[in-house]
Structure 1
Amino acid sequence: MKKNYSTRSGFIKRRILLGFSLLLLLGGALLALFAFGAGSKPISSTVRSGDGPIFKGSGERIQATSQADATVPYRGPHNDLRPVNPVRTAPLRLMQPIPPELAPARFELEPVRVKPPTNTNGPDHTAQTFAGSPLAAPAATGLSWDGVGVGLAGFAPSSNPPDTNGRVGSKQYVQWNNTSFAVFNKTTGALLYGPAAGNTLFQPLGGTCAQHNDGDPVVSYDILSGRWILSQFAVGASPDFSHQCVAVSATEDATGPWYLYDFVTDPVNFIDYPKTGVWPDGYYMTGRVFNAAGTVYINGRVFVFERDKMLQGLPARQVQKDLKRYGNKPQNGMLPSDLDSLMPPPAGEAAFVIAPDPATTNKLDSTRVKVTWGANPTITLTQTQIPVTWDSAPCVNDTDANNHRDCVPQPAPATPTDYLDNLDFRLMYRLAYRNFGGDPAQESLVANISVTGGPSKPKHGAIRWYEFRNSGGSTTTPTVFQASTYDPDSAYRWMGSIAMDKDHNIALGYSKSSLSIIPGIYLTGRLSTDAVNTLGAETTVFPGSGVQLNSTGAGNRWGDYSAMTVDPVDQCTFYYTNEYLKTNGGFNWSTRIASYRFPSCTSAPAWGTLTGTVTSSPSGAPLSGVIVTLSNGYAGATNASGVYSFLVPPGTYTAKAADADRNCTSASPANPTVTITSSGTTTRNFRMVGTSNLEEDSVAIDDSAGNHNGIINSNECANL
């Protein structure tokens, strides 16, 4: 049954551009009311299954388009090069969150399960069947808290699985679990915003991204500019079937203003399981292309969004290209490289995409992606293979009735029909990248996949992990520096996430379960000085205290992915988030966020602070909402007192102050040079100058940001 909800999302005071005529201002104000959804509007109800969630309630089934019929010829990538116009929001902290339980939910037909290759490689001679040294494992920092899920601010899950995903930034941690997100203080774990339905963020944009809340989210952090990138897909839309809703923060503050984009990723096909990565020339995304009915898996595809424009809140384009098929089978479970180091890749270097080969378990597939923007954007793929083994994790119960997702054993009262999905045949998020410099450059990428463990009854899964290296070429194939399967006992380990700190140390988090172990969150790692192909002792991040029961209607899905990320400032502290249950049941998942680090890792030089006050000229009144941006993209916005403050890596930059919503776009000084020192504070004040003198009896004037006399004076910034 279709449900409708009314969501209020105004909460935004549009500021006028004083240089325009009053007629244009009034017209713009009316348009802004529509664009920002200032009134209540009905939002359609949605419920999703497949590689997105199963929802408690029934919902409207999406309608297939013409390509739902497998006989319809495939049209290839959707390369519409027209720029997508963004909307800039007011600070997120001023937006009323849409309660997650009132978010739209659409039921989608479950995509066909993509079958892995059937050839076997025999015993893994690099498997680690011992626990490893306790000294080689990262140590808990003592910071651990409940994320979005049962246990956070009265949150009650309405879908399964949680798609647990999160990222640490300079001051905050942002977690987005399937259809709900929250912002936390990264130092204390204190909740700063949410939990809110994901489409809360997109209400000012209107249209598909405001009406849909379909999940499969990814939280990324652009370390080169200090910005957040949040995205989720929208499917079953009309007239264009698949969209990617992308938000780029205007500053370092995830509770501040955002630039919102609605990219059509395919007008007729279903783009599933999108995974994003940050690279200097674009925001990269991989996705799986199904027909609209989800009955045919057509191809793997890479997408690139125009980063430079998106950081400025300007119209931005996307380019796409399908990945090569091997053995006439499409690539599946691919990931794009995601930059973790402050040192960017060598100038102009192509991004990486790696995937398990669809035809054999003796190879991984490598794609180097090179994009040029300019007047006529191009995307070029260099596609080769990496000679290294992998395989699929075992499915213990493996029944048609459960779509072959009843794989991972759980203790009683769980029965075999309650066993959990093992998420096989895909690299698990992320493909974390670091550039360690040198000549030639020493680049490392780390990845993991769930595979079959050693002999046991019942069979069990293990985590195979890789470190790839490259030396700066844009067409070269990364080589395997080390690879092994972590399999210290007969427990089932799966759904990993891996990352590397600035000292080459690695942390790997995952879920673990067995007939005697309740599903919980675990972690291991290795020091750079350890013997290659080995990991250290396992540590418990958070033990589960409940099993998931299929009889509740929750199905067999578990997690879908988890996230290991590294503090961009100290470059040593790992933050890991994953799923667990507090009690037996279904639709009752919790998530945990915890931080770890290796004691031997010395923090990178601390970032410095740029601060100052922005005032209106000639009144001298403080201005709120002005964004101060550095030449590296780092930015902060002024508060009600006209004060801005944000963290920046040490260095020398040029600065500018501007506000697109005001006509106060001329600043004095215009482009000053600022030098940021480690742990230091640099102060740079600005005066903003406008150009108009408008006054109209029928329009209420708010010049609280100016001289407070109730009329618009020359060179004064005001609000209509």
Structure 2
Amino acid sequence: MYNRISKGEKSISILLGLIFLLTLGAVFTLNAGDLKNHYKQSILPTLSSAGEFHHQKQYKQLQIEPFAPGSQYNLPKMFAPQVSGNLIGPVTDAVNYDDNAALNGASVPPDNSGAAGPSHFVLAVNVVIQWYTKDRVQQHSESLNSFFSPNNPQSSLFDPRVIYDQYNQRFVIIMVEEDDGTEISYFHLAVSRTSNPNDGWYFQKINSEVNIGGTDCWSDFPGFAVSNDALYITANMFSYGIFPLFQGTRLWILDKGLYSGGTSTVNVYDPSTEAGLGSQAFTLQPAHMFGTAPANVGTFLFSTGWDDGNGNNDLINIIRIDDPLGQSSAPTFTSQFVNPGEIHDNSAGVPDMPQNGSDTDIDCGDDRAQYAIWRDNSMVGCFTVNPSSGSEAGQATAFWFDVNTSNLSALSISQQGYIDGEDIAPSTYTSYPAVSINQDGDIAISFSASASSIYAGAYYTLHNAGDTPGTVGASNTLHAGVDYYVRTFGGGRNRWGDYSAMSVDPADDLNFWVFNQYAMQRGSAAGGEDGRWATCFGNFGTIETPTFLEANNITSTSMMLHWSGRSAEFRLMQDGVQVYAGSDTFYTASALSPSTSYTFQVYGKASGQTYYSNNNVTLQVTTAPSGSDTNPTEVISSTPTIDAGGGTT
């Protein structure tokens, strides 16, 4: 009834891929004197999980039955955090397997992507878009094909990427459309008209089909980033047909013409060849830029698993893009390699994650580049590896690194580390990481985790700027898995990922928003399988306590209060009763009684939030006696300890 790829056909496909890899270097070699020509990637180029699911669905290689919602359809949308850690407010359930299937058909993996704006959180999965207020009120839920209807998509969209462009205060989303029958490949781009997604969107459809060496190719696993004046989309390019083969990578650079309701100008580049690499880089991940970049620099691209032929086979390649919009002449591409040491067992690859309750492991993907951020001369990236030695050897393990870019001609790794998850459960596997950085240089990392004793869940951790280089804090639970997960549709792979999301809150540039998936209660059985994924998002980090509180002009019936802090809004309490809430840093307390002691407390919160800091600055002041002059003495608080997390409404 269903066409399925036989083991022999799979072997032929892999063999063709290996032959292609062996010959690819000869196609793209430049001058022999360039040492970069000797560098080859050890990673085997394959479709992303979502790309493979979409492709197999076209060829009816998956046993997808009509959707019947299970017992947990329409789960409660908000719940208290299971481990409070430094969470701010509740964790919120978003799209799950059943919601997704009801809107546009069953799909795995979800490809979790989302970003915070000043007052909203926007998320997208395969194949749904939603947005919420920061108070966790859902305002919109729609299938992606419906959302992008102005672009008239002809087949199912997949591989969502959502970012917030803090330079222009806009949400920006891209999706992939591909169809083998008609041989089409498109990016669908949407830009919010303001920082509020309810104010409408502009849309643009971009032809992403590229002919490489005489072969028409479609785009898979897009990377997406923004700088002050440009957008960057990267993709792995595969041939059409039942056995898609990797042909190369490409980069699309767009100006921001769409932001004003016009059309963005699009130019396509081959970064590997432009930068002088001897072979095509597989998965180039662009860095989302923050702040002011070095003069003329647009962004940086990174790729993983490079072998220099001298025993260093885990090199990270970084390509710097200058003059991205060609305002001086044309974009230039400069390649450098940095060496993290032996971090990955290339011969074994990334193993699947075990899970409690099932002998079917969960797919962890491979060691391709996952995510990158640049800020204040640091480029932080992450991906999944299988360490060659140490306590994590043989386990899928999230890896992160920080490259110092202050000397553009000599990039160097300033710190790096694994996220082992051993504080979650023994022998925990971690995968699909994403990173972000706040104004203090704190690095937040989201990841999936699973082990033989736990179900697959969503987690996050933090490297504070003052921490020992290469270390992270405790693993915090966004949502633990609640059941085992098996959903292959007869296709062999128990897909997860392909990525998670982490973004800094632009309202205060201090706390973070994380979006990821966990294994929910089994149900909605089809084809003998009943695994279901669910997604959730949360806010964590520091709501900073104001740093100073003083009283002056103290009379018998009034006083002037002043405070300071980096919070966007403040709450002032007088003897336990709120007397002021707003953005001002001063308040006149009046109608007081003479010779009476009053206790004042000021709390901080981020813009658009309901949740104030747990800690406060407290000041106790006694008014002057009745009929006396103004008390000339200022009463000043001591500097409080700034604490992370929590939050009260």
TM over 0.5: yes
Does the 8 Å contact 1:451/1:463 carry over to 2? yes
Relative to structure 1, is the Cα distance of residues 205 and 327 closer, same or farther in structure 2, using a 3 angstrom cutoff?
A: closer
**Equivalents in 1 of 2:468, 2:4: separation in Å?**
45
Does the 8 Å contact 1:291/1:297 carry over to 2? yes
- 2:93 equivalent in structure 1: 146
Does the 8 Å contact 2:458/2:478 carry over to 1? yes
Cα displacement (A) at 1:466: 0.9
- 1:288 equivalent in structure 2: 236
SS of match in other structure, 2:296: coil
Pick from 268, 277, 280: which aligns with 1:330?
280
SS of match in other structure, 2:362: coil
SS of match in other structure, 2:449: strand
**Equivalents in 2 of 1:379, 1:71: separation in Å?**
28
- 1:450 equivalent in structure 2: 384
Does residue 1:381 correspond to 2:333, yes or no?
Answer: yes
Does the 8 Å contact 1:159/1:587 carry over to 2? no
Within 5 Å, give how 1:301-316 maps onto structure 2.
Answer: 301-307=250-256, 309-316=257-264
Relative to structure 1, is the Cα distance of residues 375 and 241 closer, same or farther in structure 2, using a 3 angstrom cutoff?
A: farther
- 1:97 equivalent in structure 2: none
Cα displacement (A) at 1:188: 1.5
Relative to structure 1, is the Cα distance of residues 327 and 154 closer, same or farther in structure 2, using a 3 angstrom cutoff?
A: closer
Residues 236-278 of structure 1: per-residue CA shift (max 9 Å, x gap): 2787632111111122221222211111122420211001001
- 2:170 equivalent in structure 1: 227
**Equivalents in 2 of 1:573, 1:457: separation in Å?**
30
Relative to structure 1, is the Cα distance of residues 548 and 306 closer, same or farther in structure 2, using a 3 angstrom cutoff?
A: same
- 1:606 equivalent in structure 2: 568
Cα displacement (A) at 1:433: 2.0
Amino acid at match of 1:444: S
Residues 267-315 of structure 1: per-residue CA shift (max 9 Å, x gap): 42021100100112310011111122353212122221122x1211223
Relative to structure 1, is the Cα distance of residues 601 and 160 closer, same or farther in structure 2, using a 3 angstrom cutoff?
A: farther
**Equivalents in 2 of 1:161, 1:517: separation in Å?**
20
**Equivalents in 1 of 2:391, 2:327: separation in Å?**
59
Does the 8 Å contact 1:497/1:563 carry over to 2? yes
- 1:407 equivalent in structure 2: 352
Does residue 1:460 correspond to 2:395, yes or no?
Answer: yes
Pick from 491, 502, 514: which aligns with 1:564?
502
- 1:422 equivalent in structure 2: 364
**Equivalents in 2 of 1:503, 1:262: separation in Å?**
38
Amino acid at match of 1:549: V
Amino acid at match of 1:317: T
Residues 391-427 of structure 1: per-residue CA shift (max 9 Å, x gap): 44799xx9xxxxx987211122x11xx2111122212
Pick from 593, 596, 606: which aligns with 2:540?
596
- 1:298 equivalent in structure 2: 247
- 2:146 equivalent in structure 1: 200
**Equivalents in 1 of 2:545, 2:319: separation in Å?**
32
Cα displacement (A) at 1:48: 14
SS of match in other structure, 1:507: strand
Amino acid at match of 1:322: D
Pick from 99, 124, 130: which aligns with 1:182?
130
The Cα RMSD (Å) is: 3.9
Amino acid at match of 2:568: A
Residues 458-495 of structure 1: per-residue CA shift (max 9 Å, x gap): 93222221112222x7x535321111223263211111
Where does structure 1 lack aligned partners over 5 or more consecutive residues?
A: 3-46, 50-67, 77-103, 112-136, 399-403, 436-442, 608-677, 681-720
**Equivalents in 1 of 2:228, 2:164: separation in Å?**
12
Does the 8 Å contact 2:183/2:240 carry over to 1? no
**Equivalents in 2 of 1:109, 1:328: separation in Å?**
34
SS of match in other structure, 2:366: coil
Cα displacement (A) at 1:330: 2.5
Residues 49-69 of structure 1: per-residue CA shift (max 9 Å, x gap): 9xxxxxxxxxxxxxxxxxx9x
**Equivalents in 2 of 1:217, 1:557: separation in Å?**
16
**Equivalents in 2 of 1:48, 1:322: separation in Å?**
35
Relative to structure 1, is the Cα distance of residues 337 and 138 closer, same or farther in structure 2, using a 3 angstrom cutoff?
A: farther
Does residue 1:582 correspond to 2:582, yes or no?
Answer: no
Residues 670-706 of structure 1: per-residue CA shift (max 9 Å, x gap): xxxxxxxx989xxxxxxxxxxxxxxxxxxxxxxxxxx
**Equivalents in 2 of 1:238, 1:275: separation in Å?**
25
> How high is the TM-score relative to the length of structure 1?
0.59
**Equivalents in 2 of 1:411, 1:151: separation in Å?**
22
Pick from 238, 241, 249: which aligns with 2:184?
241
Does the 8 Å contact 2:481/2:518 carry over to 1? yes
**Equivalents in 1 of 2:501, 2:530: separation in Å?**
22
Does the 8 Å contact 2:306/2:315 carry over to 1? no
Cα displacement (A) at 1:205: 2.9
**Equivalents in 2 of 1:518, 1:273: separation in Å?**
26
Within 5 Å, give how 1:73-152 maps onto structure 2.
Answer: 107-108=57-58, 139-150=86-97
**Equivalents in 1 of 2:484, 2:499: separation in Å?**
18
Does the 8 Å contact 1:227/1:251 carry over to 2? yes
Pick from 528, 534, 537: which aligns with 2:465?
528
**Equivalents in 1 of 2:4, 2:373: separation in Å?**
29
**Equivalents in 1 of 2:220, 2:545: separation in Å?**
38
Does the 8 Å contact 1:333/1:425 carry over to 2? no
Pick from 423, 428, 439: which aligns with 1:491?
428
SS of match in other structure, 2:150: helix
Does the 8 Å contact 2:118/2:607 carry over to 1? no
Relative to structure 1, is the Cα distance of residues 155 and 236 closer, same or farther in structure 2, using a 3 angstrom cutoff?
A: closer
Amino acid at match of 2:253: V
Does residue 1:546 correspond to 2:494, yes or no?
Answer: no
Q: What is the number of equivalent residue pairs in this alignment?
A: 469
Amino acid at match of 2:375: R
Relative to structure 1, is the Cα distance of residues 238 and 378 closer, same or farther in structure 2, using a 3 angstrom cutoff?
A: farther
Cα displacement (A) at 1:512: 1.0
**Equivalents in 1 of 2:339, 2:393: separation in Å?**
30
Cα displacement (A) at 1:379: 2.7
Amino acid at match of 1:370: D
Does the 8 Å contact 1:331/1:357 carry over to 2? no
Give the fraction of aligned pairs with identical amino acids, expressed as a percent: 22
SS of match in other structure, 2:435: strand
Quick check: which one's strand share is greater? 2
Cα displacement (A) at 1:600: 5.8
Does the 8 Å contact 1:166/1:174 carry over to 2? yes
Does the 8 Å contact 2:458/2:480 carry over to 1? yes
SS of match in other structure, 2:400: strand
**Equivalents in 2 of 1:315, 1:427: separation in Å?**
30
SS of match in other structure, 2:287: strand
**Equivalents in 2 of 1:420, 1:393: separation in Å?**
19
**Equivalents in 2 of 1:526, 1:335: separation in Å?**
22
Does residue 1:218 correspond to 2:161, yes or no?
Answer: yes
- 2:635 equivalent in structure 1: none
> How high is the TM-score relative to the length of structure 2?
0.65
**Equivalents in 2 of 1:146, 1:509: separation in Å?**
16
Amino acid at match of 1:313: G
Relative to structure 1, is the Cα distance of residues 373 and 444 closer, same or farther in structure 2, using a 3 angstrom cutoff?
A: closer
Does the 8 Å contact 1:445/1:467 carry over to 2? yes
Amino acid at match of 1:201: F
Does the 8 Å contact 1:245/1:260 carry over to 2? yes
- 2:612 equivalent in structure 1: none
Cα displacement (A) at 1:364: 0.5
Relative to structure 1, is the Cα distance of residues 457 and 508 closer, same or farther in structure 2, using a 3 angstrom cutoff?
A: closer
**Equivalents in 1 of 2:326, 2:350: separation in Å?**
46
Does the 8 Å contact 2:383/2:399 carry over to 1? yes
**Equivalents in 1 of 2:607, 2:445: separation in Å?**
30
- 2:643 equivalent in structure 1: none
